[in-house]
Amino acid sequence: MEELILDKTQDETRQGEAYATTDLFQKKFERHFYIESYGCQMNFADSEVVASILQEAGFGPTRNVEDADLIFINTCSIREKAEQTVRKRLTNFKRLKRQKKSLLIGVLGCMAERLKSKFLEEEKLVDLVIGPDAYRSLPHLIEEAAGGQKAVNVLLSREETYADISPVRIDSNGISAFVSIMRGCNNMCSFCVVPFTRGRERSRDPQSIIQECEDLYKNGYREITLLGQNVDSYYYASSFESFPPITFANLLEKVAQISPELLVRFSTSHPKDISDEVLHTMAMHENICKYIHLPVQSGSSRVLQLMNRTYTREWYMAKVDRIRTLLPDCGISADIITGFCTEDEKDHQDTLSIMEYCKYDFSYMFIYSERPGTLAARRYADDVPEDIKKRRLEEIVSMQNKLSLESNQRDIGKSYKVLIEGDSKKNKEEWKARNSQNKVVVFPKENYTYKKGDFVTVKIADCTQGTLKGNIVAN
Ligand code: 5AD
Ligand code: SF4
């Protein structure tokens, strides 16, 4: 069995996506770029920033890789498998280059940062290598690469937040958008390569965030997800002393106040940073979705310490209790790593039992993958045999499947106000929507005149492990 990843956002690619905005399509450009994104939501949001910079420089998007003068691949380094996928894609692109000599191929994102000019020197697979904080230099680097020079910029920054750049909403459904509120990460979790590839944590100017959210709302968007590696540590102190500093709870409230018709979500929370202030703010505003993604990583205090997560099993469980007290109807999901260095059967049982205790609605589950340069790679041996890692992952996945089904069964008979995202994939006579708890809800359109982006109340009649099924409740 391959590594089982249940996360749509972490390891899934969406291809040739820089096409969406219709006006961009209608515009005529002489040169075209094609971009493919891998990894987390932050990477997809970054590709929208890149598309904006490229558009300013006179490049139009294309969906068809054969029509491109420039091919970009926005990469992820979180697990080895993600890097292998990118290498395979690059080998494919190299073939295109043989047919079209002027074609330029660029690597963006975390893998560019991790491998730096190695890409140009050793592998000769690419013409440009650009790290996550260097996208403003793209137009200049493209010119350099076109002139046959080596084009590399992997400088990390302590300030860059791309605050003034309006992302070009690529591959958008016109209803939901991601808004990046901070970059980088200061938590040195021992397994994680992110602090090395995305640099130090910095928060974006709140004014520019609110402006972006207001514009989205005016343009018909009805759901915004505030993004950061660790959103709860958002903190912005203005250089003007008369303006008080803005915390994540303050920011959340400001975005929620744009309109009650605008849903607000956020991701990702570190258990150590999510505060009562944030939970109270969530409770006060109906349009802040009652859903928290709260990565646990392991249920064993001993392993958590080796992971440098800074909390114990008991502390995490108390945090979940607190969420359930202040927000009784809150959905909770987790990230879990299985087979971390020295993990034994007792540790594994602790993970299974914490999952049961927390009753996760869903989880994203991964086999530990050693990443060069991380604290774990330097200090601990990756000593859990592959077959044991796989068996433990299977057990974790079965546990989650059971919990997801039970969670959905508890919703039968309840009514939810949901946001219509579009047609259900399986049946065009049905809508697909999402409730506040981030669960997918499908229901027959019947004779109602609802459309994408509308809110509607649905009573749940049935479910599977992954979906709630219901019917519209007449208003
Ligand atoms: N191996 C496996 N999973 C990892 N993650 C981060 N680093 C690794 C690694 N080296 C997982 C964590 C994190 C999610 C984004 O990816 O669970 O929360
Ligand atoms: Fe990686 Fe930990 Fe930062 Fe998440 S919080 S990005 S797991 S270092």
Domain end call among 408, 433, 457? 408
CATH number, domain with residue 116: 3.40.50.12160
- pTM of this structure: 0.93
Give the per-residue pLDDT at 26: 57
Q: Residue 445: give its domain's CATH number.
A: 2.40.50.140
298 Cβ inside 6 Å of ligand 2: no
Q: Are residues 144 and 189 in the same domain?
A: no
CA 280 – ligand 2 centroid, Å: 25
Residue 370, amino acid: E
Q: Determine which residue's CA is closest to atom 2 belonging to ligand 2.
A: 189
Domain boundary among 408, 423, 438: 408
d(CA 151, ligand 1 centre) in Å = 30
Mutate-to-test residue for ligand 1 from 83, 191, 371, highest number of ligand atoms within 8 A of CB: 191
Please check whether residues 204 and 140 belong to one and the same domain. no
Are 221 and 283 found together in one domain? yes
Do 35 and 20 belong to one domain? yes
**Spatial CA neighbour of 233 closest among 272, 176, 191:** 272
Q: Ligand 2 centre from 346 Cα, in Å?
A: 25
pLDDT of residue 118: 84
Does 166 map to a domain?
no
For residues 250 and 386, membership in a common domain is answered with: yes
How many structural domains does the chain have?
Answer: 3
Q: Is the CB of 256 under 6 A from ligand 2?
A: no
Query: Residue 206: CB within 6 Å of ligand 2?
Result: no
Q: Is 10 in the pocket of ligand 2 (CB under 6 A)?
A: no
321 and 240 assigned to the same domain? yes
389 pocket-lining for ligand 1 (C-beta < 6 Å) = no
Q: Which of 309, 399, 296 is nearest to 4 (CA)?
A: 399
Q: How far apart are CA 36 and CA 17, in angstroms?
A: 6
Residue given tokens 């100017």 in the structure block: 205
Q: In whole angstroms, what is the distance from residue 426 CA to residue 467 CA?
A: 12
Measured from the alpha carbon of residue 197, the closest ligand is 2
Task: Please check whether residue 168 lies inside any domain of the structure.
Answer: no
> Are the C-beta atoms of 219 and 230 separated by less than 8 Å?
no
The confidence score (pLDDT) of residue 23 equals: 54
Ligand nearest to the Cα of 10, by number? 1
- Would you tell me how many other CB atoms lie within 10 Å of the CB of residue 307? 22
If asked whether residues 390 and 262 sit together in one domain, one would say yes
Helix 313-326 vs helix 345-358: angle between axes, to the nearest 10 degrees?
10
Give the 3-state secondary structure percentages of the chain, helix then strand then coil, rounded to 5: 35, 20, 40
Within 10 angstroms of residue 394's Cβ, the number of other Cβ atoms is: 14
Radius of gyration of the chain from its Cα atoms, rounded to whole angstroms: 23
* Atom 5 in ligand 2: residue holding the nearest Cα: 187
In a domain, 53, yes or no: yes
Measured in degrees and rounded to the nearest 5, phi and psi for residue 255 equal -70, -40
Residue 436 near ligand 1, beta carbon < 6 Å: no
Provide CB contacts within 8 A for 62, sequence distance 6+.
16, 18, 19, 32, 33, 34, 68
Tell me which of 408, 424, 459 is where a domain ends.
Answer: 408
Q: In this structure, what token pair is assigned to residue 32? A: 């075209």
**Which residue, judged by its Cα, is nearest atom 12 of ligand 1?**
335
Q: Does residue 167 lie in a domain region? A: no
Least distant ligand from the CA of 377: 1
Is residue 170 domain-resident? no
Asked whether residue 189 is domain-assigned, the answer is yes
Residue nearest to atom 1 of ligand 2 (CA): 192
Classify residue 348: in a domain, yes or no: yes
Ligand 2 neighbourhood includes 192 CB (under 6 angstroms): yes
The verdict on residue 67 lying in a domain is yes
Mean pLDDT, consecutive 10-residue stretches, the chain (475 aa), reads 35 39 63 94 95 94 92 95 92 88 94 88 83 97 92 94 92 91 95 95 96 96 96 90 89 98 97 96 98 98 98 98 98 98 98 98 98 97 98 98 98 98 95 98 96 96 97 86
CA 454 to chain centre: 24
The single-letter code of the amino acid at 437 is Q
**Is residue 87 located within the same domain as residue 143?**
yes
Q: Is 18 in the pocket of ligand 2 (CB under 6 A)?
A: no
Q: What is the CATH number of the domain that holds 192?
A: 3.80.30.20
Give the type of residue at 16.
G
Residue 467 has a pLDDT of 97
**Same domain? 421 vs 404:** no
- Are residues 142 and 118 located together in one domain of the fold? yes
CB 393 within 8 A of CB 338: yes
427 Cα to the center of ligand 1, angstroms: 35
202, 75: one domain: no
CA of residue 412 to ligand 1 center, whole Å: 33
Let me know whether 309 and 400 are in one domain: yes
Q: Is any atom of ligand 1 closer than 6 Å to the C-beta of 194?
A: no
> How many angstroms separate the CA atoms of 26 and 266, rounded?
33
In terms of Cβ atoms closer than 10 Å to its own Cβ (0-12, 13-18, 19+), residue 454 is: middle
Confidence at residue 3, expressed as pLDDT on a 0 to 100 scale? 33
Q: Answer yes or no: is the C-beta of 79 below 6 A from any ligand 1 atom.
A: yes
C-beta separation of 136 from 109 below 8 A: no
**Pairing of the two strands 415-423 and 430-434:** antiparallel
| Domain range for 459 | 415-472
